[in-house]
Structure 1
């Protein structure tokens, strides 16, 4: 699998320690555990739910338009809150 996207995730100390423990027990990296969890949680038989995929694509397109050519000052708090929906 070719990994082409990078992201940062903030965890509570307890969640991070749990992930680190599970990673050591399963001889995997924390990243592998997270990718596996995302695959199990958000895909159906290896395919991403089409509606979720369309919603994400439209959100990204509208978000990029705002970042490239903002009509008004950007409300970063609103952007972060919108991102938390997914």
Structure 2
């Protein structure tokens, strides 16, 4: 038995995704560890503002834990660069 389509007009076919402009890709990684060298939770974003908001949020949520380490790292073809960390050195 075939059920009728729930919408009167079927969805249009998927559009092809537009290719990104060629050039260096930079991502931002936010890392959270509860002990130095221990397992980490990490998030990756292409948008720096999103990574900054995550860093600020994680500091607010977990920064009072005595051994918490939170970092924001820029990752590009040139390598990694530490942008911010908590606690401050």
TM-score by length of 1: 0.21
* Structure number with bigger Rg: 2
Structure with higher helix content: 1
More strand, by proportion: 2
Higher relative contact order (CA 8 A, sep 6+): 2
